[in-house]
Chains A and B, each alone.
Chain A
Amino acid sequence: MPAVAVRPLAALRKWLGRWGLIVALLALPVYYGIRDLVHGYSSGFVNGHAVINHDLSQLGFNLVSGVSNGSIWALVAMGYTLVYGIIELINFAHGDVFMIGSFVAAGLYATFGLTAATGVFGLIGGLLVTLIISMLVCGSLNVLIERVAYRPLRGAPKLAPLITAVGMSFILQNVGLLWRGGSPTGVPDLINQNKTVFKISGVIIHRADVLAIAVMVPLVFALTWFIGRTRAGRAMRATAQDPEAARLMGINVNSTISLTFLLGGMLAGAAGIVYALYETNVWYFQGFEAGLIAFTAAVMGGIGNVRGAVLGGIIIGCIQQLSDSRLGPQWTPAVVFGYLILVMVLRPRGLLGEETREAG
């Protein structure tokens, strides 16, 4: 092939490799931003006439809800990515652990007698206790699942634990189905989630948004501190890199893996209670959907990478909100997964992906 014909193609490929991803990710918000500015959007009706606005506040609102919604996915995705990083298993049961977290939270409201009428201090105290219990329950549940379904399969063919993960997922879904029935059930709207906290240049920020971000950010910092600075965290990183060498260095690999599952489960539990407060309804199938989205987020960010999972979760949250409000929720999964394929094509290891241990 003549060199002249190759050069523009190579240049294009290089350009795509560097900027393609950023262009792809910005395409949706920029397009809808320009459309809002040029064509305007209707923000309601006054005297039977549609009010047409020409500003970016709807886009801003989409993005804020995207970030807060994405915070929940980020919490779940971190659990996926932790487990994947350490034993290279796609833990299909993780989404259902998150669902159990929501159910525990919803059950505890009733136990503690928390309603929308409870006073501020009682509410905050009750929610904190609920958060802690729900995290502990989900953490222990995840450890138990690992003990029963994954540990016996260490050293087995790589896909065998995938199937036990699916099996555990089915079992947990069945538990959820028996617990609260087959259709979404309402949870008391304790924090009055739709109340406006403040407004920045026309963008309304709801209580639910503040809550989701306020739970996610400290947990992410706590987790990165734990993994990066503590002895147990170092053991986790060592095991993720090379379990055999870690064992020879005196690390108890089994308890390190259990600890990883504990942390992942606790994050899922926290996500579960936030979800119950945010959506004000729970059902047994939510874990499956959330698991799919969170797994996508973890992969998009680069599976095995905690910061990548957070980034992926937030990006997916934004894509979902934009698609929900502009294209209609029925198309959202296709848009999200289309974006995922785009990311994978442009950057095969995900946004912040690094080399993980190759499957043995």
Chain B
Amino acid sequence: MSDAGHPPDEVRSEVYVQKGQAPQRPGVTRASSAPEPAAVGPGQFTAQMREWRAAIERRLPPWWSRAAGAVLIVIAILLPFFFTQTSGFLNATIISLAYVVMALGLNIVVGFAGLLDLGYVAFYALGAYSVGWFGSGFFFKENIHVGASHVQSTLPGIHLNFLLIVLCAVVIAALAGIIIGLPTLRLRSDYIAIVTLAFGEIVRVFAINGQSIHLGGGQTLTAGNLGIPAVDLPYFPVIGSFNLLKLRPWYWLILALMLIVLFVNLRLRDSRLGRAWVALREDEVAAVSMGIPAVRTKLLAYAIGATFGGISGAFLGAYFTTVNAGQFAFSFSIFVLAMIIVGGLGSIWGAVLGALLLSYTNYYLIPDVFNDIPTKIGLNFNLTQLSFGIFGFLLVLVMVLRPQGLFPERRRRLELTGDIAAEDAQLVESQSAV
């Protein structure tokens, strides 16, 4: 610990001053007391980190966090200029940002409201199918064009502007979220998990078998595993039409969507609704007796969480230019859930960080970077065969080393701090008794 330059800490340090001991070694005395909690090492580490953080924050002007945010956004906007238009890194970043949107949505349901949702893939599917249905020639009997580009306007099918499609995705996903939420209202956490999982699987099965559901005129509900091909590329009046050889516009589009969703998330967290979610999560009985409408609050969590999944799904559907039922597996829900838990459940920045970390690992590090290592050290071996296992190993490693997640929620951190402070007080008492 860097005690030099550490300004006198009003609250925490006085405990140690009484002890007449440097603040860095509470573990030594604690080791001799009989029932030892398992997490002494990491706890000590986080306590140290917290003190450093507090020390740094005290020296910065009060507007630093906004300034840092602005700088980060500017860096994010300028980032694609450092890469070529078709670089693999930019591609991975675009997908990662879409996952950030998903993670932020799931974080509302699981993190804020405490409703374990294992069927999040359903909203991805519905978002992607909004693009497939309303932005392609899939419904070839229809002839509807709203805000489409010149080329698209000449084609049969439903062609809406990308923003209108996103709006459709929002409405569809929110409705689906409420439908999924309704039967879970009476259930306890793990039963919620299985019911949402069931909905996710049902949506997947309908997506796969949609070819045999006829809507009349030879049109079917989905194109199953063949996929709805040639989905419209996003088009905006002044900017023109996107294409897949120029990735920068895609990047800015998803960055903008992500920032909007992030902003909404931050505002929601501190709103009355956000506090109602946390209250319901912590103690449903107490929350309801304080006048929180449980049904409406929970359904809003499902609906809003689903909305973000739908937005991201619509983007990914357009970006992959095909909507294929094979994309909507259960493992996708697990992937997004892993992001928010690795990041720190209930924490917005944790969700962002976890989503970036896991999706970069999955879409960039393992296939593009690590894959060359065996060849470089002279092994005739293909790492992609192991990607599953490496990913699983990383999940286990991160969670064992940091069970509360990388960036725990402020509230949980406070709980942990409270515990540690109580322990310290006990420590002082036992010492003064001796």
Task: Give complex CA distance A109, B385 in Å.
Answer: 26
Number of B interface residues at 8 Å Cβ cutoff, please give it: 49
Q: Mark A190-222, 1 if CB is under 8 A from B, else 0.
A: 000000000000000000000000000000000
- Can you name the residue of chain A whose Cβ is closest to the Cβ of B208? A330
CB within 8 Å for A292 and B404 given contacts A159-B345, A160-B341: no
Assess whether B56 is interfacial by the CB under 8 Å rule: no
B392 touching A170, Cβ below 8 Å: yes
Interface residue ranges, B against A (CB under 8 Å): 37-39, 110, 116, 183-184, 186-191, 193-195, 197-199, 201-202, 204-206, 208-209, 330, 334, 337-338, 341-342, 345, 385-386, 388-389, 391-396, 399-400, 403-405, 412
CB within 8 Å for A167 and B39 given contacts A174-B389, A333-B205, A348-B187: no
Q: Which residues of A contact B201 (CB under 8 A)?
A: 292, 333-334, 337
CB distance from B109 to the nearest CB of A (A): 12
Q: Which residues of B contact A168 (CB under 8 A)?
A: 392, 396
Q: A155-B38, A156-B404, A167-B392 are in contact. List 18 more A-B contacts (CB 8 A).
A: A84-B190, A157-B404, A159-B337, A162-B341, A163-B337, A166-B392, A174-B388, A292-B197, A292-B201, A331-B209, A333-B202, A333-B204, A334-B209, A340-B195, A341-B195, A344-B183, A345-B183, A345-B186
Q: Which residues of A contact B412 (CB under 8 A)?
A: 157
CB distance from B276 to the nearest CB of A (A): 20
Q: Which of A155, A163, A166, A303 contacts B39 (CB 8 A)?
A: A155
A149 touching B191, Cβ below 8 Å: no
CB distance from B334 to the nearest CB of A (A): 5
- Can you name the residue of chain B whose Cβ is closest to the Cβ of A300? B194
From residue 135 to 176 of chain A, which have CB atoms closer than 8 A to chain B? 148-149, 152-157, 159-164, 166-171, 173-175
DSSP majority for the A interface? helix
* Nearest 5 A/B pairs, CB to CB: A170-B392, A156-B403, A174-B389, A167-B395, A337-B198
Task: Give complex CA distance A257, B345 in Å.
Answer: 26
Assess whether A296 is interfacial by the CB under 8 Å rule: yes
- Can you name the residue of chain B whose Cβ is closest to the Cβ of A330? B209
Q: Which residues of A contact B334 (CB under 8 A)?
A: 92, 166
Task: Give complex CA distance A334, B330 in Å.
Answer: 13
Q: Mark A81-101, 1 if CB is under 8 A from B, else 0.
A: 000100010101000000000
CB distance from B193 to the nearest CB of A (A): 7
Assess whether A46 is interfacial by the CB under 8 Å rule: no
Assess whether A338 is interfacial by the CB under 8 Å rule: yes
Task: Give complex CA distance A159, B403 in Å.
Answer: 9
CB distance from B120 to the nearest CB of A (A): 14
- Can you name the residue of chain A whose Cβ is closest to the Cβ of B340? A159
Q: Which residues of A contact B189 (CB under 8 A)?
A: 359
Task: Give complex CA distance A173, B183 in Å.
Answer: 33
CB distance from A187 to the nearest CB of B (A): 23
CB within 8 Å for A149 and B396 given contacts A155-B39, A295-B194, A340-B195: yes
- Can you name the residue of chain A whose Cβ is closest to the Cβ of B206? A334
Q: Which residues of B contact A178 (CB under 8 A)?
A: 385-386
A344 touching B191, Cβ below 8 Å: yes
Q: Which residues of B contact A155 (CB under 8 A)?
A: 37-39
Q: Which residues of B contact A171 (CB under 8 A)?
A: 388-389, 392-393, 396
DSSP majority for the B interface? helix
Task: Give complex CA distance A169, B202 in Å.
Answer: 23
A340 touching B194, Cβ below 8 Å: yes
Q: Which residues of A contact B191 (CB under 8 A)?
A: 299, 303, 344, 348-350
Task: Give complex CA distance A334, B334 in Å.
Answer: 19
Task: Give complex CA distance A319, B115 in Å.
Answer: 28
B385 touching A177, Cβ below 8 Å: yes
- Can you name the residue of chain A whose Cβ is closest to the Cβ of B394? A167
CB within 8 Å for A331 and B396 given contacts A296-B194, A303-B190, A341-B199: no
A292 touching B330, Cβ below 8 Å: yes
From residue 108 to 157 of chain A, which have CB atoms closer than 8 A to chain B? 148-149, 152-157
CB distance from B214 to the nearest CB of A (A): 15
Q: Which residues of B contact A174 (CB under 8 A)?
A: 385-386, 388-389, 392
Task: Give complex CA distance A344, B191 in Å.
Answer: 8
A148 touching B195, Cβ below 8 Å: no
CB distance from B143 to the nearest CB of A (A): 32
- Can you name the residue of chain B whose Cβ is closest to the Cβ of A342? B183
Q: Which residues of A contact B193 (CB under 8 A)?
A: 90
B183 touching A341, Cβ below 8 Å: yes
Task: Give complex CA distance A171, B393 in Å.
Answer: 7
Q: Which of B186, B198, B385 contacts A296 (CB 8 A)?
A: B198
CB pairs A–B below 8 angstroms (22 shown): A92-B334, A153-B399, A159-B341, A160-B341, A161-B399, A162-B337, A164-B396, A170-B391, A170-B392, A170-B395, A171-B393, A174-B389, A175-B389, A177-B388, A178-B385, A292-B197, A299-B190, A330-B208, A334-B205, A344-B191, A344-B195, A359-B189
Task: Give complex CA distance A90, B195 in Å.
Answer: 14
Q: Which residues of A contact B209 (CB under 8 A)?
A: 330-331, 334
CB distance from A82 to the nearest CB of B (A): 15
Q: Mark A336-358, 1 if CB is under 8 A from B, else 0.
A: 01101100110011100000001
A167 touching B393, Cβ below 8 Å: yes
CB distance from A336 to the nearest CB of B (A): 8
Q: Mark A296-318, 1 if CB is under 8 A from B, else 0.
A: 10010001000000000000000
Q: Which residues of A contact B204 (CB under 8 A)?
A: 333
B205 touching A164, Cβ below 8 Å: no
- Can you name the residue of chain B whose Cβ is closest to the Cβ of A182? B385
Q: Which residues of A contact B393 (CB under 8 A)?
A: 167, 171
- Can you name the residue of chain B whose Cβ is closest to the Cβ of A355? B188
